Amino acid sequence: MAELTLPTNSRVQKGKTWKHEGKAKHLRKFEIYRFDPARDALPRLDTFEVDMDDCGPMVLDVLLKIIDETDPSLAVRRSCREGVCGSCAMNINGKNGLACLTHVDDLPRGSIRLSPLPHLEVIKDLVGSLSRLYAQYEMIQPWLKSDEAPPERERLQLPEDRDKLDGNSECILCFCCATACPSYWWTGDKYLGPAILLQAHRWLVDSRDDHTGERLDQLDDSYRLYRCHTIMNCTSACPKGLNPAEAIADTKRMLAKRR
Amino acid sequence: MSRPISPHLTWYKPQITSVLSIMHRFTGIALAAGALALAWWVVAVAIGGEVFTGTTAVYTSVIGQIVLALWTLALAFHMSNGIRHLCWDAGWGFQMRQVRSSGWLTLAMTVILTALVWVFVLLV
Amino acid sequence: MSERDTKDDDDKEEGKGHSGQESGASKETKQQGKDAKQSGQKDNDASSDKDGNQDKEASNKDDDSDHSSRKDAGNKDDDGSDGNDDDSGGSDDDDVIKVARTPTDPSLLSQLKHSQQFRHAKGLGSGRTGAAIWSVQRLTALALIPLAIWFAVSVVLLTHASHTDAVHWLASPVRAVLLALFIVIALRHAVIGLTIILEDYVRGYALRTACVLVLKGAALVIAAAVIAALIHLTFA
Ligand code: HEM
Ligand code: SF4
Ligand code: SF4
Ligand code: FES
């Protein structure tokens, strides 16, 4: 059976609380998932109190402040701190998003819970392993496959054909969508998930690509593509406002049309 | 395997998207189970005699009628949401705003359709 | 996953402490982008065994040439280190042996892990049945909209019917045909739906296949029973 509950080694324990010392007017509590494979047998939830008057506005600012001032062993991925690299994706109060684009003030009162993107192997703390997603990305061959001889200069494309790539090519591969998808939780070993399928679609609709048929063949599989049940968790999670579910539906329609 | 799996189902925030989706699944299963009972009724009519009276007794009992009412409720939901699915398959209604409002519309349709069936039945 | 794999990641990702953690994702992303640009356009799903890193001059269409690309297979430089052994020709197998002998080299191990996951993703290739099943499910759903409304109303009305009324109602050929259509289409629709649910939750191939067979068998029996009953009622 697919495991609908967490295995015993993944049950989250109560952790320790790092109190804020001194006075603070805008204290907020952050409950952060912790796991250090070198030391811990089980993951735990640590609580950190942070004075928001003395901290940047975003969830990522809070994490960096904790690393700088409270617990330098906290592991977080980040790079651009402006929503273009996709590194800081995590689960914030039960929904996936980018820590660097999430305003602490936009989150409801009470403590804020941060955990790694769901249903990934945890490498450390908020860092989950993305290696399977990268392998699946490689599988869809995310590059132009043209039968034309390489041109002298760039390959030409009509503006209206270029428009078809909009909504596909802005994806930053943060995997907020894939790890929000229940289907990807249960069958992610075979199902490609919304992030990869959006990228597959990006090449399907590229007017310069000559391998649309083969690409569709590759997707015509009850697991790879058709595990999508249009649950819409993906679209609801995407921090870039993209719509993987719509791209998947379009792919299904392409496959139906050619029958 | 010592590495933990990050929390998923129980930590992920339920949304109208995922809740309606799992309801579509539950009602689908319920409808399939109900179809079994309805198929049996046709067979019972053909057999007749005690088999038929026995079946009718069960189906018209209070519990039988409640189950039947729930079955029509499940059908109304599954059909409304099924139509929503078909719209998506046709490429319509993918903006999150539309997804949410069509979700609520589905719930409203479910209540209305079920009520219509039973009002019709009670009047006729 | 083997302990070795686990250890590898530990070495690679955790060794750096918090300040290095973040580089994992972005680096790999860039790496993907680079592979994407470098690799030519060959190697289709079923036959390629590694597709990044083809020589720049590689022609982009001969799908059959992936044997020649095998020699490049080992050089996926995940770690950004000196991994460029393109030219060593036929080094693929050597690399695999090297991995076995030096299980602590993190870059080779991460390479091995990546190729394992990549092969797993490709699996045995596409089943080529997704679109067919999907279309049948949508068509049956469409047909069921009117049929199910008619059926639900009739059923609720008929539960209180006397036997003579019921027989009379069912004996009409039009109704019998509609009812038979409803049962057959609903069962087809339900078998597809329930099979998809089994595929979602039952992981073992043998168990799942057994469940699907039972499901299909049961549906056939039900359909046959109802149609037999209808024929009996119409002609008796
Ligand atoms: C009344 C008209 C109906 C419509 C429009 C309809 C529509 C649909 C659609 C579109 C799906 C696919 C959902 C997806 O992609 O996940 C579906 C699934 C399903 N349907 Fe129906 N359906 C109808 C009636 C029925 C009936 C009468 C039954 C049972 C006998 C049934 C049983 C199922 C089952 C078991 C599933 C699988 C659910 C899942 O995958 O989660 N449906 N239906
Ligand atoms: S719409 Fe498809 S891909 Fe998106 S969350 Fe749902 S099942 Fe997953
Ligand atoms: S589609 Fe959106 S959520 Fe998914 S990987 Fe791309 S940017 Fe992230
Ligand atoms: S740090 Fe780059 S997306 Fe958040």
What pLDDT does B82 receive? 97
Residue type, A112: I
Q: Do C123 and A190 touch (CB under 8 A)?
A: yes
Q: Do A118 and B12 touch (CB under 8 A)?
A: yes
- Tell me the ipTM for this assembly: 0.92
Does C69 score more than 80 pLDDT? no
CB C180 within 8 A of CB C230: yes
What pLDDT does C127 receive? 83
Q: Which stretch of DSSP H or E encloses residue A32?
A: strand A27-34
Question: Where are the CATH 1.10.1060.10 domain residues in chain A?
Answer: 131-257
User: Can you name the residues that pair with A14 across neighbouring β-strands?
Assistant: A45
What pLDDT does C170 receive? 87
B11, B67, B79 from A180: Cα distances, Å: 11, 35, 26
Copy the structure tokens of residue A48.
């950190």
Between A179 and C98, name the one with better pLDDT. Answer: A179
The closest CB to that of A87, out of C9, C26, C118, belongs to: C26
* Listed residue (B99, B75, B94, B66) closest to B26, CA to CA: B75
The closest CB to that of B38, out of C155, C193, C233, belongs to: C155
DSSP one-letter code for A249: H
Does C29 score more than 60 pLDDT? no
What pLDDT does A147 receive? 92
User: Ligand 1 within 6 A of C192 CB?
Assistant: no
Copy the structure tokens of residue C112.
């091995």
Number of residues in chain A: 259
User: Can you name the residues that pair with A48 across neighbouring β-strands?
Assistant: A18, A30
Does C5 score more than 60 pLDDT? no
Residue written as tokens 């039968």?
A147
Residue C121 — very low, low, confident or very high, per pLDDT cuts 50/70/90? confident
CA pair distance A72, C146, nearest whole angstrom: 64
CA C42 from chain center: how many Å? 23
CB A221 within 8 A of CB C127: yes
Please tell me the class of the C126-235 domain: mainly alpha
Q: Do B46 and C228 touch (CB under 8 A)?
A: yes
Q: Do B15 and A128 touch (CB under 8 A)?
A: no
What pLDDT does C103 receive? 56
CA pair distance C60, C62, nearest whole angstrom: 6
What pLDDT does A1 receive? 57
- Pocket probe for ligand 2: among A136, A234, A246, A251, the residue whose CB has the most ligand atoms within 8 Å is A234
Does C92 score more than 50 pLDDT? no
CATH number of A131-257: 1.10.1060.10
What pLDDT does C107 receive? 81
CB A138 within 8 A of CB A173: no
Copy the structure tokens of residue B102.
């069509």
User: How do beta strands A89-92 and A44-51 pair?
Assistant: unpaired
Segment-wise mean pLDDT, segments of 10 residues, chain B, 124 residues? 86 93 96 91 89 91 91 95 96 95 96 88 76
Does C20 score more than 70 pLDDT? no
Q: Which ligand does the CA of C23 lie closest to?
A: 4
User: How do beta strands A13-18 and A44-51 pair?
Assistant: parallel
Indicate the pTM of the whole model.
Answer: 0.82
Between C184 and C46, name the one with better pLDDT. Answer: C184
User: Can you name the residues that pair with C19 across neighbouring β-strands?
Assistant: none
Q: pLDDT tens for chain A, 259 residues: list them.
A: 567 888 889 999 999 999 988 888 899 999 999 999 999 999 999 999 999 999 999 999 999 999 999 999 999 999 999 999 999 999 999 999 999 999 999 999 999 999 999 999 999 999 999 999 999 999 999 999 999 988 999 899 999 999 999 999 999 999 999 999 999 999 999 999 999 999 999 999 999 999 999 999 999 999 999 999 999 999 999 999 999 999 999 999 999 998 8
Q: Which stretch of DSSP H or E encloses residue A128?
A: strand A127-128
Residue written as tokens 């930053």?
A172
A249, B94, B100 from B97: Cα distances, Å: 17, 8, 5
Copy the structure tokens of residue A171.
């994806």
User: Which residues line ligand 3 at a C-beta cut-off of 6 Å?
Assistant: A 171-177, 195, 198, 237-238, 240, 242, 244
Residue C68 — very low, low, confident or very high, per pLDDT cuts 50/70/90? very low
| Residue A68: burial class (beta carbons within 10 Å; 0-12, 13-18, 19+) | exposed
In sequence order, the 6+-apart residues with CB closer than 8 A to the CB of C212 are: C195, C198
Contacts 24+ apart (CB under 8 A), A22-26: A24/A49, A24/A51, A24/A53, A24/A54, A25/A51, A25/A53, A26/A51, A26/A52, A26/A53
CA pair distance C2, C100, nearest whole angstrom: 13
What pLDDT does C60 receive? 39
| Domain at A8-128: CATH architecture | Roll (3.10)
Cα nearest neighbour of C57 on chain A: A150
B97 touches chain A (CB under 8 A): no
pLDDT in tens, A68-90: 999 999 999 999 999 999 999 99
- Please give the sequence-ordered ranges of beta strands (E in DSSP) within chain A, or none if there are none: 13-18, 27-34, 44-51, 89-92, 95-98, 112-115, 122-124, 127-128
User: Ligand 1 within 6 A of B32 CB?
Assistant: yes
User: Ligand 1 within 6 A of C186 CB?
Assistant: yes
CA A107 from chain center: how many Å? 19
Task: For residue C59, give the 3-state DSSP assignment.
Answer: coil
Is domain B18-119 given the CATH code 1.20.1300.10 in the classification? yes
